[in-house]
C-alpha cells in the first residue's frame, strides 16, 4: 500500500522543459503535482524529471489512472486518456499539466 508519508521533498525539485511562456508559477505547479503524486509514488531517494513512470517508478495501469484522476482534481483539468497513456516520465507529467492549464489573460 502506498502511503503519503513516503513522499520525498526532492520531488519538488523537478525541472520543467518545453514551454517558453509560463502558464503558472513553476514552483506552484510542481508542488501541486507533488501533492497528487504522493498518493501513488513511494520510497525513491532521488526524484528527477527523467524518472520513467513504468520502468523506474513501477506504476501499474491502475496507479497511472489514479494519478490522472488526482491531477484532474488538483488542477481542475480534463486530461485526454490518450495523452495520459503516453506519459513516460515525471517531466512528461509536468509538461502535460502545464499544456492543459488555462492561459493567463
Domain ranges of the chain: 4-100
The CA distances from residue 14 to 8, 34, 61, in Å, are 12, 9, 23
Q: 89 - beta bridge partners?
A: 52
Biggest CA–CA distance in the chain, Å, is 42
* 34-87: pLDDT as tens digits: 777 775 566 665 667 898 999 988 888 888 888 899 899 989 999 999 999 999
This prediction's pTM: 0.68
Say which CATH topology domain 4-100 has.
Answer: 1.10.1200
Residues 6+ apart with CB under 8 A from 40: 2, 59, 63, 66, 67, 70
CA angle 12-18-22, nearest 5°? 70
Amino acid at each position: 500500500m502506498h502511503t503519503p508519508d513516503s513522499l520525498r521533498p526532492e520531488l519538488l525539485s523537478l525541472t520543467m522543459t518545453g514551454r517558453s511562456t509560463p502558464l503558472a508559477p513553476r514552483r506552484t505547479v510542481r508542488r501541486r503535482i507533488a501533492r497528487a503524486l504522493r498518493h501513488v509514488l513511494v520510497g525513491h531517494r532521488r526524484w528527477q524529471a527523467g524518472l520513467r513512470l513504468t520502468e523506474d517508478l513501477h506504476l501499474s495501469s491502475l496507479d497511472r489512472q489514479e494519478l490522472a484522476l488526482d491531477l484532474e482534481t488538483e488542477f481542475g483539468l480534463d486530461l485526454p486518456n490518450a495523452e495520459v497513456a503516453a506519459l513516460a516520465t515525471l517531466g512528461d507529467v509536468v509538461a502535460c499539466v502545464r499544456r492543459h492549464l488555462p492561459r493567463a489573460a
